[in-house]
A = this chain, B = another copy of it.
Amino acid sequence: MTQTTNALQTLDTPAVLVDLDVVRRNIARFQSYADQIGMAVRPHIKTHKLPQIALMQLEAGAVGITCQKISEAEAMVAADSRLSDVLITYNILGAEKLAHLRDLAGRVRLTVVADNAVVIDGLSAAFADATAPLRVLVECNTGADRCGVATPQEAAALACRIAGAPGLQFQGLMTYPPANGAAAVQAFMTQAKALIEASGLTVTVVSSGGTPSMMQAGDAPVATEYRPGTYAYNDRSLVARGACDWDDCALTVLATVVSVPSANRAIIDAGSKALTSDLLGLTGYGHVLGRPDIVIDQLSEEHGRLISSGPIRLAVGDKLRIVPNHACVVSNLFDVVQVLEAGVAVATWPVVARGKVT
């Protein structure tokens, strides 16, 4: 056991550890690639929900941040005024949300998305008498089959609707592509852009995203910006896809062995309230660093069950570091994270954008 590991023995568990050295390296790696291909970076803060890391991303060269919900954006902006350029990649609806959006637009350079006329008309009604128009991107479905218009023709029709709507300014196109979706993005966006430009509008921004395929972002050069999220932390799902290695995983859950009830089974104090039930197609609920023989085969809310193919070789009181399947959802479960520098816990940061669902 190393000195570094010993320094973590005194932390109460379960705890989320964020290794800032790894975060910096992860941020620098993608920024360098994006700089090389001439694409702007607008990281999604859902992964860390921390203004401190958003600032590290801006300092590395990011043009702004991406949030999924208004309440997330409000929390980030309130925490640091340098977070002043925000894209919210979500259809925003309803009086309460629109009032918050209008308020936020007065404080930062704000862009939102829409994939249907109801959302566009709601945004327009809310911003019709605003001092400055709200920038709107049309969300396009390039194969992920979540939100987004289905065809370039529909994208062009919504672009015109936005351009003609009081209080709104058509800004471009946005998509959350499927894995390995660069070719689909390139095809859809090129056609949509041509149709829209033929109508006399300018497509200033074409925004794509997704960590799994981010190092192939250059294969869709129609995009002007990219929104990676998980890349700042990485996780077991990305190791499984070959996108990174365990050493690139900045977020780990520190857990304590609370019971060793049989020769090949141990129980830790990290269950679904710490690791979440996200499987992302994997078997088991996380990777115990240094113990590839162990599968976390079952979670209840406060218990994680570890099964080894051989003897479990763990004792009650042992501490383990676990790379979760999905880092972003873990960030949403903890009020604070423990920040490591050179392997030593140096600070406790509140997760200011945790639990922001609206």
Contacts and interface: CB of A to CB of B under 8 A. Distances in A.
Interface in A290-304: 298, 300-303
A69 interface: yes
B94 A301 contact: no
A272 interface: yes
A85 interface: no
Contacts of A119: 258, 316
Interface residues of A, number: 59
B278 A272 contact: yes
15 contacts: A12-B97, A69-B302, A116-B260, A118-B315, A118-B316, A118-B317, A145-B261, A147-B258, A150-B262, A272-B276, A272-B329, A277-B279, A302-B357, A333-B355, A355-B355
A305 interface: yes
Nearest to A154: B261
A96 B358 contact: no
Count this chain's copies in the assembly: 2
A43 interface: no
Contacts of A276: 272, 276-277
A211 interface: no
Contacts of A328: 301
Interface string A253-272: 00010111110010101001
A316 B116 CA distance: 8
A138 interface: no
A300 to B, nearest CB: 7
A186 interface: no
A300 B146 contact: yes
Contacts of A150: 261-262
Contacts of A68: 301-302
A332 B329 contact: no
Interface in A71-98: 90-91, 93-97
A318 B175 CA distance: 24
B12 A261 contact: no
Contacts of A147: 258-259, 261, 267, 303
Given A278-B272, A303-B146, A358-B12, A115 B332 contact: no
